[in-house]
Amino acid sequence: MTDILIADDHPLFRAALRQAVEASFSEASIHEADSLAALEQIGQQGQHFDVILLDLHMPGTHGFSGLIYLREQYRKVPLVVISATEDVDVIQRAIHFGADGFIPKSASVDTMTEAMRQIMDGKQWLPEKARRAMPPTLPDHTAMKERITSLTPQQFRVMGMLMEGMQNKVIAYELDVSEATIKAHMTAIFRKLGVRNRTQAVLALKDLAIDAQGVEGN
């Protein structure tokens, strides 16, 4: 049996994707997550997956940092970005940050099926226009990748809220912990990222943001 994880916060698209996957992989066991927190709960259960379909804009996965973090958590699992954007730069950067493939949400069911089969067979799959484009010379993000993957799940969640501009007391309320706990997490996050404050953290992570011109939402 093939185990497939669909990680997307948009319920209508998640339902449509599930229907497409069920039609193409009749024996598949399909799991769903609508946030990073839900993904972590599934991960704690030790569930094995044959492929993960990830929406770049899912809550908690700020920019490409979520892709980097999940790539580390599921090193041996094919990880496919499913996105509304078809911007070549975003596609190439997704591959640069660890995705095994990139499927636009506009793709037909047949195209999506073929893409998933190739990726599960160990091949890379990209939209035709991304295959034709010359690979860009992207900066070496090795150090930042190592810093992000060194974060604990709770620290990564707090970092995502920090990147959304949330204050400590709001983060504490959302996570149902004390503000002192959040301050301790912030101290650890700054240390691991090699920065001293919120502003420096945002600047350090700016290269992982998704270009707003290439993003059309879910």
pLDDT digits (tens, 9 = 90+) for 161-188: 999 899 999 999 999 999 999 999 999 9
**Does the structure show a pLDDT above 50 at 215?**
no
Q: Where in the chain is the domain with CATH 3.40.50.2300?
A: 2-132
Considering 6-20, 105-119, 186-200, the range whose residues carry the highest mean pLDDT is: 186-200
pLDDT at 81: 95
How many residues does this entry show for the chain? 218
Which among 115, 119, 201 has a CA at the least distance from the CA of 160? 201
Band (211; pLDDT cuts 50, 70, 90) = low
CATH 3.40.50.2300 fits 2-132, yes or no: yes
Q: Where in the chain is the domain with CATH 1.10.10.10?
A: 141-207
**Does the structure show a pLDDT above 70 at 115?**
yes
Which among 66, 73, 75, 114 has a CA at the least distance from the CA of 94? 66
pLDDT at 212: 41
3.40.50.300, 1.10.10.10, 3.40.50.10860, 2.160.10.10: CATH of 141-207: 1.10.10.10
Band (216; pLDDT cuts 50, 70, 90) = very low
Q: What is the pTM of this model?
A: 0.85
